[in-house]
């Protein structure tokens, strides 16, 4: 365990709460001290949901520490069951409450006796898994719980739907553009004539999970949430899984072909090649952009990509394969899935970085000096500090990346959105220069901070004055090159003469 001021993935209970609040009429009871209940505020603000977040905190306080929490937890579960009549109540502990080492499974069994709805414990190890892993496991638990329950009642449906159908598994609340992606996937399925059997967990009813085996195949668009549930359905009910993220023109086509194969392998007779060709050549603008002069101007430019596995892999491939942009570093914070990530990106980038240390990411970006960054909100902060534009492609994100307008990242419309993001991220580097010429915000003061919290270099007045003369759009690069030269030469005070010497050294 280490103290950190930034986390790419939250604690395990956040993942469980994301799954619980994605389902319809499911309530979560969080066994936690005050301070761990920020999820309600965070979700209400970011998702702009009109309904209250269905999470209640069973507070661990000094009385609980003295007497135990069984009575309080059971009372909270049964009280909420009587008040709002949820189909399912999920009890989730936190790292702090886990210290009490209480038998929460026994609490659930007691509460079930006096509850009309189902009650279950989110059985995840809060010390060993993070938000994404817990979300994946909790979703699989819920699916298993209701499929086994339906089997015991003899109420499960295993006969296939008349027309080809799909289970879309993975979209959740607080996911990166998940709501927009889901709309685009629904449109794609309509175009292909594929019925949607179930979408889980977003907007799903737990009592309808018994129909999951009726689908012809599962589609898991995200690597982080959904694979465990899909594997359980595939292993127990012989429903094949398509796990190709349809992000970018090439991967969207590959995903559609994988769905075509899954359908035809089960006796279907579909051919989507005409649809792929029409979308690629005439409907989506992404393929056209890749051949345009605008994209040719980006050829060979350097970019750094960092995020979760799904979006970092997809973005790396789009930049390298579809746009000819050189990815000098591709990285992920999903350290638990490092081998898969390395296998997916090793042929499309110069360097691979797997780390959840934001300081290491920032230092790598400063060292490589890319023309643009594609990362999380944290990489956006890093880019601002060293004057490198950044396009946000993955969580964690700020409220500005929960747009009100329609902005999917998946499918053919998603490919168009990615094109805009990439192009604007590179071209907006000229903005400061144009503002300096035509008037705008004050660019006379030079930012002398580095990525590190402390700097071992001092800029003299004449050094700053000389640096101010450099056009804004290249000033950051000149500053970094000068500081690099000063460190190599053991110079502590950077004057105008040092800038000239550094320039000569670079030119040499």
The answer on pLDDT for 200 being more than 80 is: yes
The answer on pLDDT for 72 being more than 80 is: yes
Name the domain boundary from 283, 306, 322.
Answer: 283
Structural domain span for residue 482: 458-507
CB 292: neighbour CB atoms within 10 A? 13
Strand order through the sheet with 26-32: 55-59, 26-32, 88-93, 118-121
Burial state string for 398-435 with b = 16 or more CB within 10 A and e = fewer than 16: eeebbeeeebbbbbbbbbbbbbebbbebbeebeebeee
171 in a domain, yes or no?
yes
Query: Strands, DSSP E only, in 370-503?
Result: 372-375, 390-392, 458-459, 493-494
Which residues lie below 8 Å from residue 20, measured CB to CB, with a gap of 6+? 26, 27, 28, 54, 55, 90, 92, 122, 138
- DSSP-based three-state secondary structure for 91: strand
CB 16 within 8 A of CB 92: yes
The enclosing domain of 73 has a CATH number of 3.40.50.1980
At 275 the pLDDT is 97
CB 213 within 8 A of CB 149: no
Name the domain boundary from 268, 283, 298.
Answer: 283
Of 440 and 113, which is predicted with more confidence?
113
At 126 the pLDDT is 82
Which position among 61, 75, 103, 294 bears the catalytic label?
294
At 110 the pLDDT is 93
- The annotation places the binding site for substrate at 429-430
- The annotation places the binding site at 36, 429-430
Category of 407 on φ-ψ map: left (φ > 0), alpha (ψ -120 to 50) or beta = beta
448 in a domain, yes or no?
no
Helix and strand tally (H, E) in the chain?
22, 15
Q: Are residues 292 and 433 in the same domain?
A: yes
144 in a domain, yes or no?
no
Q: How many domains does the chain have?
A: 4
Please give the angle made by the CA atoms of 162, 168 and 170, to the nearest 5 degrees. Answer: 160
Paired strand residues for 307: 332
The answer on pLDDT for 168 being more than 70 is: yes
pLDDT digits (tens, 9 = 90+) for 458-485: 889 888 888 888 876 677 778 888 988 8
335-363 average pLDDT score? 95
Q: Are residues 323 and 297 in the same domain?
A: yes
Segment of 60-69, 189-198, 417-426 carrying the highest mean pLDDT = 189-198
Q: Are residues 334 and 432 in the same domain?
A: yes
352 phi and psi angles, rounded to 5 deg: -115, 135
- The annotation places the binding site for [4Fe-4S] cluster at 36
Paired strand residues for 92: 30
Does the active-site annotation cover 155?
no
177 in a domain, yes or no?
yes
Q: How many angstroms separate the Cα of 178 from the Cα of each of 23, 208, 275, 398? A: 14, 21, 24, 15
């Amino acid at each position: 365990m280490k103290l950190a001021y930034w986390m790419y993935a939250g604690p395990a209970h956040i993942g469980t709460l994301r799954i619980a609040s994605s389902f319809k009429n499911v309530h979560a009871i969080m066994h936690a001290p005050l301070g761990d209940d920020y999820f309600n505020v965070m979700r209400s603000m970011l998702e702009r949901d009109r309904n209250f977040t269905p999470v209640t905190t069973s507070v661990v306080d000094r009385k609980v520490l003295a007497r135990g929490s069984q009575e309080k937890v059971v009372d909270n579960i049964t009280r909420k069951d009587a008040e709002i009549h949820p189909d399912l109540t999920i009890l989730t502990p936190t790292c702090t409450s886990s210290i009490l080492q209480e038998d929460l499974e026994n609490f659930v069994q007691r509460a079930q006796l006096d509850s009309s709805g189902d009650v279950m414990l989110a059985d995840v190890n809060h010390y060993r898994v993070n938000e994404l892993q817990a979300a994946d496991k909790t979703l699989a638990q819920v699916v298993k719980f209701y499929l086994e329950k339906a089997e015991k009642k003899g109420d499960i449906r295993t006969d296939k739907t008349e027309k080809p159908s799909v289970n879309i598994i993975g979209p959740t609340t607080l996911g990166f553009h998940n709501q927009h992606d889901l709309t685009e996937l629904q449109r794609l399925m309509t175009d292909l004539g594929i019925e949607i059997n179930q979408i889980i967990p977003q907007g799903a009813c737990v009592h309808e999970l018994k129909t999951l085996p009726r689908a012809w195949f599962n589609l898991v668009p995200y690597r982080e949430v959904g694979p465990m549930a899909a594997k359980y359905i595939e292993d127990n009910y012989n429903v094949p899984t398509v796990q190709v993220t349809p992000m970018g023109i090439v991967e969207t086509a590959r995903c559609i072909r994988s769905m075509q194969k899954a359908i035809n392998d089960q006796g279907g007779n579909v051919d989507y090649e005409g649809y792929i060709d029409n979308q690629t050549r005439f409907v989506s603008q992404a393929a056209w952009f890749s051949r345009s002069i605008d994209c040719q101007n980006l050829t060979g430019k350097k970019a750094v990509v960092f995020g979760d596995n799904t979006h970092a892999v997809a973005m790396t491939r789009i930049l390298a394969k579809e746009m000819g942009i050189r990815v000098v570093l591709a990285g992920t914070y999903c350290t638990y899935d490092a081998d898969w990530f390395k296998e997916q990106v090793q042929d499309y980038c110069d360097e691979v970085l797997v780390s959840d240390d934001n300081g290491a990411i920032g230092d790598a970006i400063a060292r490589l000096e890319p023309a643009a960054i594609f990362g999380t909100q944290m990489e956006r902060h890093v880019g601002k500090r060293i004057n490198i534009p950044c396009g946000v492609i993955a969580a964690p994100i700020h409220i500005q990346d929960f747009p009100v307008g329609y902005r999917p990242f998946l499918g053919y419309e998603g490919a168009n959105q990615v094109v805009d993001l990439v192009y604007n991220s590179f071209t907006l580097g000229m903005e400061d220069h144009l503002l300096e010429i035509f008037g705008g915000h004050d660019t006379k003061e030079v930012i002398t901070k580095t990525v590190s919290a402390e700097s071992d270099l001092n800029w003299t007045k004449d050094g700053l004055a000389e640096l101010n003369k450099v056009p804004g759009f290249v000033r950051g690069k000149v500053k970094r090159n000068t500081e690099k030269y000063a460190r190599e030469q053991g110079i502590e005070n950077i004057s105008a003469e040092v800038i000239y010497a550094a320039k000569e050294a670079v030119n040499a």
